[in-house]
Amino acid sequence: MIVDERLTTYIDSLSWQIPEYLKEVERKALQNEVPIIRRSMQSLLCFLLRTRKPGAVLEIGTAVGFSGMLMSECIGENAVIDTIEKVPMRLAEARKNFRKYNKEDRICLHEGDAAKVLQDLVCDGRKYDFIFMDAAKGQYLHFLPSVLALLMEGGMLVTDNVLQDGDIIQSRFAVTRRDRTIHGRMREYLYTLTHSEELDTVILPVGDGAALSVRCNQELS
């Protein structure tokens, strides 16, 4: 927990409001130990979507479809959502949820490794004005070139889980050996976001840490 848990609980009590069916999906996911976005991140994501009003959304990391369905509640009826997942069990659960809650016409599920799917979307000439990255943290930097190719000028990239419950500030020798590679890659990813001439980025201690990056207008950069 990055921010005091009592403070987070209080803020959530003020701002966390999602449809009942999503509360049920969240409850089931947590029971099955499937990682989904934390409640503070849910509130932030909904706020950003309602204020920016994107026409095309890309999600990298579907899991059981919770965040995709949440985003569908916060965008216009004509907006589209593409989402990417490769784990068979999660794909099956996401498809089941999309059917059950009538989201199949709103959300397009792409099956496969995210790196390959992203490259295919680039080749297809796809563009998005809002991208939500919530996949394998160690792959964020690897995905970034394709993500930038897909992100419109003025579009927003939201990256979740960037502060690793606060471990990001530790020396690599202070984290467990098995986490050192991800720790190093995340630090490099955050440095790249905050020092890129293509992006204007802010890091927020929301949930497990969120990076908000806007694609700069090249004529102004």
**CB neighbourhood size of 97 (10 A):** 23
One-letter identity of residue 124: D
Check residue 4 and give its pLDDT. Answer: 74
Tokens of 24: 């049920």
Instruction: Give the alpha-carbon dihedral of 103, 52, 165, 167, to 10 degrees.
Output: 130
Check residue 220 and give its pLDDT. Answer: 44
**CB neighbourhood size of 206 (10 A):** 21
Q: What pTM value is reported for the model? A: 0.90
pLDDT over 70 (residue 184): no
Place of tokens 């976001």: 193
Check residue 173 and give its pLDDT. Answer: 47
Domain 5-215 sits in CATH at: 3.40.50.150
**Which ranges of the chain does DSSP label H, i.e. alpha helix?**
5-15, 20-31, 39-52, 66-72, 88-100, 114-123, 140-150, 180-195
Q: How confident is the model at residue 218 (pLDDT cuts 50, 70, 90)?
A: low
C-alpha angle 77/99/21, rounded to 5°? 75
CB–CB of 51/43 below 8 Å?
no
Check residue 221 and give its pLDDT. Answer: 43
Average confidence score pLDDT of the chain:
89
| pLDDT tens digits, 140-177 | 999 999 999 999 999 999 999 887 655 555 555 455 65
Q: Answer with the residue of higher pLDDT: 104 or 218.
A: 104
CB–CB of 215/157 below 8 Å?
yes
CA–CA gap between residue 81 and residue 104 (Å, rounded): 10
| pLDDT tens digits, 102-117 | 999 999 999 999 999 9
C-alpha torsion sign, points 3, 36, 45, 21: negative
CA–CA gap between residue 101 and residue 94 (Å, rounded): 11
Helix (H, G, I), strand (E, B) or coil at 82: strand
